[in-house]
């Protein structure tokens, strides 16, 4: 039981008349990478906001490392970090200054050292003393993720971490995410890139019309669809084909 980092049961959320989450259930094990897939507007960011205490659910329960988000939000905030869908770095500051600022806000003992370590780890040492406004999209995203690692959170939330990145920058972010999970951090990510989920995730869930309509490892999801035999060659469905078959409409991605 204690191996579960995230437990979500019967989560519901409406914005006025619009019921976005009808009943969402899933669990994530400690140290796993969990990918939440869904079309635009499916409610992925809404789930992330509720799990990170930024938004209140209408009903249902969410527990992070044993703490209930509704009754123990402060405890939850101490174990998580969030990299939002839109970068939250300060453009006027340098990369180093951004990191030092967050380390100070978190009352860490040696902010400069924390900043140096993260700059090295994220390959930003050379650019450390340049204003973020001069960074490329990939560099900003790396800095954004670095900022969320200040203070070593146990669970990190990445809402579309690679949207807008070129393939090379995307692969760099994947490497960082894998390293985090190897180090025991639980990673919850949302993505529109099915390849990203295929590459990274231990478990994949598909959010559609307010519910999780499929949840499992990639091979479990693939088993839902018998492989098509094309003469003598067995064809495995891609996650994209699985997604489209489940969601049932082309414009979904």
Ligand X SMILES: Nc1ncnc2c1ncn2[C@@H]1O[C@H](COP(=O)(O)OP(=O)(O)OP(=O)(O)O)[C@@H](O)[C@H]1O
Structure tokens at 219: 């091979």
Choices 45-53, 136-144, 223-231, 236-244; region in contact with Mg ion by CB under 5 A: 45-53
Q: Which does 63 bind (CB under 5 to 8 A by kind): ligand X, Mg ion, none?
A: none
Q: Which does 15 bind (CB under 5 to 8 A by kind): Mg ion, ligand X, none?
A: ligand X
Q: Is 40 in the site for ligand X (CB under 6 A)?
A: yes
Choices 40-48, 146-154, 217-225, 237-245; region in contact with ligand X by CB under 6 A: 40-48
Q: Is the dihedral of CA 198, 34, 55, 159 positive or negative?
A: negative
Least distance to Mg ion, CB of residue 118, Å: 26
Q: Is 20 in the site for ligand X (CB under 6 A)?
A: yes
Beta carbon nearer to ligand X, 18 or 249:
18
Residue position matching structure tokens 């869930």 = 205
Separation between Cα atoms, residue 63 and residue 234, nearest integer Å:
42
Residue position matching structure tokens 């009754």 = 71
Q: Is 43 in the site for ligand X (CB under 6 A)?
A: yes
By the 8 A CB rule, do 48 and 34 touch?
no
Q: H/E element holding 140? A: helix 137-148
**Strands 155-159, 186-191: parallel, antiparallel or unpaired by DSSP?**
parallel
Output DSSP code: residue 237: P
How many residues in the shown chain lie near ligand X by CB under 6 A?
13
Query: How many CB atoms neighbour CB 23 within 10 A?
Result: 14
Beta carbon nearer to ligand X, 85 or 125:
85
Least distance to ligand X, CB of residue 41, Å: 4
Residue position matching structure tokens 């495995």 = 236
By the 8 A CB rule, do 83 and 157 touch?
yes
Q: Binders of ligand X among 144-183, rule CB under 6 A?
A: none
Beta carbon nearer to ligand X, 20 or 187:
20
Q: Which of 5, 32, 39, 45 binds Mg ion (CB under 5 A)?
A: 45
**Residues making contact with ligand X (CB under 6 A):** 15, 18, 20, 38, 40-46, 85, 192
């Amino acid at each position: 039981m204690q191996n579960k980092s995230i437990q979500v049961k019967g989560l519901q959320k409406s914005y006025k008349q619009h019921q976005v989450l009808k009943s969402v259930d899933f669990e994530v094990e400690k140290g796993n990478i969990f990918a939440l897939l869904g079309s635009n507007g499916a409610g992925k960011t809404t789930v992330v906001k509720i799990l990170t205490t930024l938004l209140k659910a209408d009903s249902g329960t969410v527990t992070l490392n044993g703490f209930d988000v509704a009754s123990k939000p402060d405890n939850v905030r101490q174990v998580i970090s969030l990299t939002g869908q839109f970068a939250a770095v300060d453009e006027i500051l340098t990369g180093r200054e951004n990191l030092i600022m967050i380390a100070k806000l978190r009352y860490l003992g040696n902010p400069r050292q924390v900043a140096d370590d993260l700059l090295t780890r994220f390959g930003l040492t050379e650019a450390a003393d340049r204003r973020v406004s001069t960074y490329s999209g990939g560099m900003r995203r790396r800095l954004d993720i670095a900022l969320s690692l200040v203070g070593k959170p146990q669970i990190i939330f990445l809402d579309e971490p690679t949207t807008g990145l070129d393939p090379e920058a995307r692969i760099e972010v994947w490497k960082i995410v894998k390293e985090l999970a190897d180090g025991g951090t639980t990673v919850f990510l949302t993505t529109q890139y099915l390849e990203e989920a295929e590459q990274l995730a231990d478990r994949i869930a598909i959010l559609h019309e307010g519910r999780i309509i499929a949840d499992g490892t990639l091979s479990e999801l693939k088993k839902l669809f018998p492989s098509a035999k094309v003469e003598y060659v067995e064809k495995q469905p891609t996650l994209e084909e699985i997604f489209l078959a489940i969601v049932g409409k082309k414009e979904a991605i």
